[in-house]
Structure 1
């Protein structure tokens, strides 16, 4: 909730025991959480009750044990998904594009798990805010910084997006699924990030040295084109519609429609 990072686990069914196994895997890799928030799904509530019964002979309640361990369970009110809006938004963006990318594709458990973990890395690579106010620093703060202390990266791979499925091996097909998800989701994220500025208004003009994300076509997964504004060029009406951006490969000129400013730390809530 605090870092907006996402962790995905593939499970075989929705029973309570399967959820407990998924929770154990999460804690083994991410550490013990302080708080667990969830809806009132039967697997979550059932797991909570099962653990309560198991330890009921030696303790008063599961809440007491978890409190002693530093873990607090929180269930949102029934039929109120807006109480977990941040988590629900993350689940929605994954399911919406994943269903369309997979389609009727037949994959094994290992292949689907690999796809989900790679999607997790894509979501945790998204830029949140500038990492610093240094004009020479072109790196944004991402959820990956909170997980591993640095940006998430991936191995370079050929572009398979336009290849027919019949011409690909199963190994290449998994990479194609990742690239299709990246192409769909990154465009949606950039569109949401970009400010809807009117051409005739100066409100919300970009500032010099602001860290921005550039819209780039056919960028590989986990590669975000970042830069800082070094100059703006106002038109005859005094409204700036073009800016020079300093990137890692040099200075480029882009219209404001291709520029997505990142929220400043003091503006992010």
Structure 2
């Protein structure tokens, strides 16, 4: 495996280097009420190569003009990137040619910043999706569960845009590593910190897990889809942090003072319960399987299989 490129490890602003990919199709209604037709739309995913921040957009088709308008919306909200990476889809190649020719032909009328710097488009080789693993992983996280929680529900374009924005917030709230090594600090670093400088939070809403779909209005159904996505994706993210093969050799690296993520079954969206290990309990065989965890709501006792230690600086250097 080759070393990571410079745009993956050098510190810079979020979304300076961006990977982009499409997903779909999703079927939506062209309008509300009777006589509405079902049409296709697509998901366009932008991922920051440095901090793994996610930005989701809805597209009505796969044309070059639709991609350019999506790129304009992205630049208006996140800033202009210096380089973009994508596969060799025809719509990506056509958009790159048109934008580059526009920048070259209109350098004088453009602002000073745009005249000095343009967007560099790079395309990975054909039939090499592993070259873009970072945005392929983002597409899997978003599309895999959106398809399943939506089911046969047909939303409008506005409702789907709202759902994608909420899914984007959920993906950007995931804990990456401890904020500090202080035993009194229960905060973790997330992609949202690089976007707004603080953790992403969600508006409080009643639980709709057990509500019947037929008894909900359109807004209630949209909120139920968001909560279902949160439960599915949260469990998948935690299970990936707890990867293990056989329990024949003790390979646990949990120590007192480590920041861990507690696996909770009924936590609300964007709520990650964090804590610090304050005590370890060893069995007669000398293996630790239970720990006391100090949280913002008091000390709790949990088995190690329900705790997910966040990677430390030593783990990242190993």
- TM bracket (short chain): over 0.9
Structure 1 residue aligned with 2:14:
none
Match of 2:304 among 233, 256, 265: 256
Deviation at 1:52, TM superposition (A): 4.1
Relative to structure 1, is the Cα distance of residues 41 and 67 closer, same or farther in structure 2, using a 3 angstrom cutoff? farther
Partner-residue secondary structure (3-state), 1:241:
strand
* Contact 1:161/1:180 (8 A) holds in 2: yes
Deviation at 1:68, TM superposition (A): 3.6
Q: Does 1:173 align with 2:216?
A: no
Q: How many residues align?
A: 264
Deviation at 1:214, TM superposition (A): 0.6
Q: Does 1:14 align with 2:73?
A: no
Rounded to whole Å, the distance in 2 between the matches of 1:58 and 1:211 is: 52
Unmatched runs of 5 consecutive residues or more in structure 2: 1-48, 108-112
Q: Does 1:90 align with 2:114?
A: no
Relative to structure 1, is the Cα distance of residues 184 and 5 closer, same or farther in structure 2, using a 3 angstrom cutoff? same
Rounded to whole Å, the distance in 1 between the matches of 2:72 and 2:303 is: 49
Task: Spell out the pairing of 1:211-250 with structure 2 (5 A cutoff).
Answer: 211-250=259-298
Q: Give me the CA root mean square deviation.
A: 1.9
Match of 1:163 among 211, 219, 235: 211
Structure 2 residue aligned with 1:62:
none
Match of 2:125 among 74, 77, 98: 77
Unmatched runs of 5 consecutive residues or more in structure 1: 60-64
* Contact 2:100/2:119 (8 A) holds in 1: no
Task: Spell out the pairing of 1:1-269 with structure 2 (5 A cutoff).
Answer: 1-54=49-102, 68-196=116-244, 199-268=247-316
Rounded to whole Å, the distance in 2 between the matches of 1:192 and 1:263 is: 13
Deviation at 1:84, TM superposition (A): 0.6
Rounded to whole Å, the distance in 2 between the matches of 1:97 and 1:203 is: 32
Deviation at 1:255, TM superposition (A): 0.5
* Contact 2:103/2:115 (8 A) holds in 1: no
Deviation at 1:203, TM superposition (A): 2.1
Deviation string for 1:74-120 (max 9, x for gaps)? Answer: 11111111001011011012111111111110111000000000000
Which protein has the bigger strand share? 2
Structure 1 residue aligned with 2:26:
none
Deviation string for 1:115-172 (max 9, x for gaps)? Answer: 0000000000000000111110000000000000000001110001111110001011
Rounded to whole Å, the distance in 2 between the matches of 1:197 and 1:50 is: 50
Partner-residue secondary structure (3-state), 1:10:
strand
Relative to structure 1, is the Cα distance of residues 23 and 142 closer, same or farther in structure 2, using a 3 angstrom cutoff? same
